[in-house]
Structure 1
């Protein structure tokens, strides 16, 4: 199984997990690391590193972060390793709801691409969607 770690500013990751579990039930092996101004960089690195070690059951770990260029992403990028750790930025609720659909034959990279594309696909401008329905 591919492990999943969410690293975000504040407790966004924890709240996304709560929301997803409210909708779908337990998400299984998923952890989050909250980052705020009270933690120093070395402590954050240690916390992320420990979470990755705990989650890695041999198929790697997907790290989902909130914002490319932000501290959670920048620190997470230092753990990237082909086939072992992949980082996807812009985490959203649809991504978490889709996590359970990992296919056993998917590589970490394939799973990361699948989750990224699903997250992007679920960003919509409501007025565009509604105008298409009105026409069709």
Structure 2
């Protein structure tokens, strides 16, 4: 079974560094693509780049798009193209989100429910780390 594609939209391409980090944990990752927003890209240029990449992908239910910052240009572009494509987008990209999404690539297609599972896993992974206090 072909792994479902995941599209990453980030500022300045830091998604590639994130992919490299996740590869250290899970090994080879397939069917994950990034369209970085560069400082010199105008909004129409970036939208065109994203649409060009989307048009090259095939997915079964919804295309999963992971974006870095809610309200940022990559997130806004994901929302904008959702009028033309069957996508589900999640903002707040981090290593745990990408890891969870990669582990769900073989689930038979991304859905809103699966996206919510990814979001829940990310929220649960975000914790303040403290050593336990030893009572004397």
Tell whether the structures are fold-level matches, with TM greater than 0.5.
Answer: yes
The answer for the alignment partner of 1:111 in structure 2 is 114
- SS in structure 2 opposite 1:91? coil
So what's the TM-score if we normalise by structure 1? 0.84
So what's the TM-score if we normalise by structure 2? 0.84
* Structure 2 gaps, min length 5: none
> What is the deviation of 1:78?
0.6
In structure 1, what is the Cα distance between the partners aligned to 2:74 and 2:98?
Answer: 18
- SS in structure 2 opposite 1:33? strand
Tell me which moved more, 98-107 or 23-32: 98-107
The answer for the alignment partner of 1:7 in structure 2 is 9
Q: Deviations over 1:92-130 (max 9, x none)?
A: 101222224326356511221111111111111112xx3
2:64 paired residue among 50, 62, 77? 62
The answer for the alignment partner of 2:55 in structure 1 is 53
Which structure features the higher share of helix residues?
1
Q: How does 1:1-136 map to 2 (within 5 A)?
A: 1-80=3-82, 84-102=86-104, 104=107, 107-127=110-130, 130-131=131-132
| Corresponding pairs, count | 132
> What is the deviation of 1:82?
9.8
* Structure 1 gaps, min length 5: none
In structure 1, what is the Cα distance between the partners aligned to 2:51 and 2:17?
Answer: 21
Tell me which moved more, 67-76 or 105-114: 105-114
